[in-house]
């Protein structure tokens, strides 16, 4: 942790599309059930970029501080908190305010951080792994021996889908751009690899590896549309995100002919309508990590002072796995 940083500093975005600026803020008073966290690491997500543009479905009011997930230590406790003590290590899915030296959040959004996981890993762990865990198990019912196509397989969420699919015994086909990114997916357990930048006819390449029982679409656009045409009867098509910038167009007649389910997965929504499902997912994933079943891939870490560079790398889609900002 960089102790030379002044207290209560945050990267603030003044208006949609504005560049983040490092600013001092006034510490907020703690309400009942809230805690203050000294942030040690913050995981970046594609949703941060959308939020900064004002294009995310849950964008808070401007000015805002991006950063949806953090790891750190409890610095102060509000009334009614009995599960934590000052100094406890925690990870927290805060949904905002993570690119700051400290933040205030509801204690219900925190979980104890075991000694088996460091702060950098924890900061990039929650959203990506819980998204894939809930999507593949709770929503898509992926079973051993089934065929899973992961679109955007080297990105922050896609790589976790490869890992979890492999852990569940599925035959995993990774789709990503370039040999280097595909190599990362192969190391995570992919059985088949498709280079979307060199495949020429992506539909032919997908059909050669299919038909797929489950498609995990974190990319959208033409690749997602091609994957829909390479599914098996009664397939489950998971809409995770649209990193390509284009929403996947799904033709209703294709869905009808093969009895295909289309399933949207918005992990942040579980905080409000099914928080216990999210906690159960994360608890199981933390056990998997302790048992060595999953190995989070953090491709880049940046010091707090260079957070804008980290966001630019995320925007470029050149990183693999997760990008984490450390204090």
| Residue 231 reports pLDDT greater than 80 | yes
**Which pLDDT score is estimated for 284?**
97
Q: How is domain 127-268 classified at the CATH fold level?
A: Rossmann fold (3.40.50)
CB neighbours of residue 277 within 10 Å: 13
pLDDT tens per residue across span 260-314: 999 999 999 999 999 999 999 999 999 999 999 999 999 999 999 999 999 999 9
pLDDT tens per residue across span 149-166: 999 999 999 999 999 999
Q: What is the largest CA-CA distance in the chain?
A: 62
Whether residue 56 contacts residue 96, with contact meaning beta carbons closer than 8 Å, is answered with no
**Which pLDDT score is estimated for 283?**
96
CB neighbours of residue 169 within 10 Å: 12
Residue ranges, CATH 3.40.50.720, the chain: 127-268
Superfamily of segment(s) 9-125+296-326: Medium-chain alcohol dehydrogenases, catalytic domain (3.90.180.10)
What DSSP designation does 209 have? H
Q: How many CA atoms lie within 13 A of 3 on its CB side?
A: 0
Region 164-188: mean pLDDT is: 96
**Which pLDDT score is estimated for 246?**
87
Whether residue 88 contacts residue 74, with contact meaning beta carbons closer than 8 Å, is answered with yes
| Residue 322 reports pLDDT greater than 80 | yes
**Which pLDDT score is estimated for 197?**
86
CA dist., res. 283 & res. 16, Å (int): 35
Whether residue 107 contacts residue 35, with contact meaning beta carbons closer than 8 Å, is answered with yes
CA dist., res. 235 & res. 143, Å (int): 12
pLDDT over 90 for what percent of the chain?
88
185 confidence band (pLDDT: 50, 70, 90): very high
pLDDT tens per residue across span 96-127: 999 999 999 999 999 999 999 999 999 999 99
Residues 6+ apart with CB under 8 A from 48: 66, 67, 68, 311, 314
2 confidence band (pLDDT: 50, 70, 90): low
**Which pLDDT score is estimated for 56?**
84
Dihedral, 103, 109, 114, 117 alpha carbons, nearest 10: -70
**Which pLDDT score is estimated for 90?**
98
Whether residue 209 contacts residue 182, with contact meaning beta carbons closer than 8 Å, is answered with no
pLDDT tens per residue across span 14-65: 999 999 999 999 988 899 999 999 999 999 999 999 999 998 877 788 999 9
Phi, psi of 285 (to 5 degrees): -65, -35
Return the higher-pLDDT residue of 44 and 2.
44
For 112: left if phi > 0, alpha if psi spans -120 to 50, otherwise beta; the answer is beta
Region 126-135: mean pLDDT is: 97
Region 181-185: mean pLDDT is: 96
Cα–Cα nearest to 84, from 30, 27, 33, 29: 33
What DSSP designation does 15 have? S
**Which pLDDT score is estimated for 60?**
82
Residue ranges, CATH 3.90.180.10, the chain: 9-125+296-326
Whether residue 231 contacts residue 212, with contact meaning beta carbons closer than 8 Å, is answered with yes
CA dist., res. 292 & res. 178, Å (int): 28
**Which pLDDT score is estimated for 1?**
66
Q: For residue 43, give both structure tokens.
A: 């995981």
């Amino acid at each position: 942790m960089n102790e030379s940083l002044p207290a209560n500093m945050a990267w603030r975005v003044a208006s949609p599309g504005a560049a983040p600026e490092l600013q001092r803020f006034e510490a907020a008073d703690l309400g009942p059930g809230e805690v203050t966290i000294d942030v040690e690491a913050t995981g970046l997500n594609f949703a941060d970029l959308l939020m900064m543009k004002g294009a995310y479905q849950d964008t808070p009011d401007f000015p805002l501080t991006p950063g949806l997930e953090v790891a750190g230590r409890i610095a102060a406790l509000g009334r009614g908190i009995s599960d934590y003590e000052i100094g406890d290590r925690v990870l927290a899915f805060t949904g905002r305010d993570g690119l700051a030296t400290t933040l205030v959040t509801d204690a219900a959004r925190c979980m104890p951080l075991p000694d088996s996981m460091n702060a950098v890993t924890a900061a990039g762990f929650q959203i990506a792994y819980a998204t894939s865990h809930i999507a593949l198990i709770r929503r898509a019912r992926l079973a051993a021996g089934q065929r899973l196509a992961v679109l955007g397989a080297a990105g922050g969420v896609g790589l976790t889908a490869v890992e979890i699919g492999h852990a569940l015994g599925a035959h995993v086909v990774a789709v990503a751009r370039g040999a280097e990114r595909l190599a990362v997916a192969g190391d995570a357990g992919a059985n088949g690899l498709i280079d979307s930048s060199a495949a020429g006819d992506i539909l032919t390449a997908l059909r050669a590896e299919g038909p797929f029982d489950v498609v995990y679409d974190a990319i959208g656009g033409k690749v997602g549309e091609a994957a829909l045409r390479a599914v098996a009867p009664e397939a489950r098509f998971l809409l995770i995100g649209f990193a390509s910038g284009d929403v996947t167009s799904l033709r209703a007649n294709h869905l009808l002919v093969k009895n295909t389910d289309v399933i949207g997965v918005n992990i942040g929504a579980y905080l409000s309508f099914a928080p216990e499902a999210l906690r159960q997912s994360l608890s199981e994933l933390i056990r998997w990590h302790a048992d060595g079943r999953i190995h989070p891939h953090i491709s880049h870490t940046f010091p707090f002072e260079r957070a804008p560079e980290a966001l630019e790398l995320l925007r470029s889609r050149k990183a693999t796995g997760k990008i984490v900002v450390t204090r």
